[in-house]
């Protein structure tokens, strides 16, 4: 069974997580990717998410894709959480490190995946549509925008976000008749269980 909890903003939607999981999250181990935020000026959302995971009494390991033990850390985790930031840089680094394959294995084994913004977008078939919101030039080594393709739709986060709603609206107008977009306000979640 695949279990995806795809958010626009985890801080605004985390209260829906326990209902989705239908189980206690206490003492669950979580592999936390802050990769997408590493090339962004604003990354406070990452700290908010970490604080909320600790509030939920989960055991968090921050994944560093440049460390040799990251693969074991991912395999040992109950949950994968990929925080927001630049989607192009995120995809580049997941592909470069081979973490993309580990994430797919994790999801296909029935373990929970939580995506926030960029972490939700990479579940789509392709991330090219998000270039009005994120800067592709931050990922100069990304050879293809083909994403993990684990859902058929294209998450469009931050529809009501003060700073990002203009970019979100441009994407909506440009692609609404070309792609099956799934617009998300910051307090909304795409739930996938199949």
Written as tens digits, the pLDDT of the chain (194 aa) is: 899 999 999 999 999 998 898 778 889 999 999 999 999 887 788 889 999 999 999 999 999 999 989 999 999 999 999 999 999 999 999 999 999 999 999 999 999 999 999 999 999 999 999 999 999 999 999 999 999 999 999 999 999 999 899 999 999 999 999 999 999 999 999 999 98
CA–CA dist 59, 56 (Å, integer)? 9
- Write b or e for each residue in 32-46: b if 16 or more Cβ atoms lie within 10 A of its Cβ, otherwise e: bbbbbbbbbeebebb
pTM of the model: 0.95
- Structural domain boundaries in the chain: 3-193
Nearest one of 110, 113, 112, 109 to 123, comparing CA atoms: 113
Q: Is there a catalytic annotation at residue 158?
A: yes
Which tens digit of pLDDT belongs to each residue from 21-46?
A: 877 888 999 999 999 999 988 778 88
Which tokens hold the place of 121? 């977008």
Contact between 79 and 107 (Cβ < 8 Å): no
Beta bridge partners of residue 114, listed in sequence order: 5, 81
**Topology of the domain covering 3-193:** Rossmann fold (3.40.50)
Q: Is there a catalytic annotation at residue 117?
A: yes
Dihedrals φ, ψ of 103, to 5°? -65, -45
Catalytic residue among 37, 77, 117, 120: 117
Which tens digit of pLDDT belongs to each residue from 4-16?
A: 999 999 999 999 9
């Amino acid at each position: 069974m695949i279990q995806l909890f795809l958010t626009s903003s985890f801080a605004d939607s985390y209260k829906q997580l326990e209902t989705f999981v239908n189980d206690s999250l206490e003492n669950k181990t979580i592999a936390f990717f802050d990769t997408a935020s590493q090339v962004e000026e604003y990354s406070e959302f990452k700290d908010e998410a970490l604080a909320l995971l600790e509030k939920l009494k989960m055991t968090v390991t921050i994944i560093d894709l440049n460390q040799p033990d990251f693969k074991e850390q991912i395999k040992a985790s109950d949950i994968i959480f990929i925080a927001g930031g630049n989607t192009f840089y995120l995809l580049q680094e997941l592909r470069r490190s081979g973490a993309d394959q580990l994430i797919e294995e994790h999801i296909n084994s029935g373990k929970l995946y939580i995506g926030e913004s960029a972490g939700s977008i990479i579940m789509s078939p392709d991330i090219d549509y998000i270039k009005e919101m994120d800067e592709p030039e931050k990922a100069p080594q990304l050879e293809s925008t083909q994403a993990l393709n684990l859902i058929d739709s294209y998450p469009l986060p931050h529809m009501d976000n003060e700073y990002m709603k203009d970019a979100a609206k441009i994407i909506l107008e440009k692609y609404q008749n070309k792609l099956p977009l799934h617009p998300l306000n910051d307090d909304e979640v795409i739930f996938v269980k199949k």
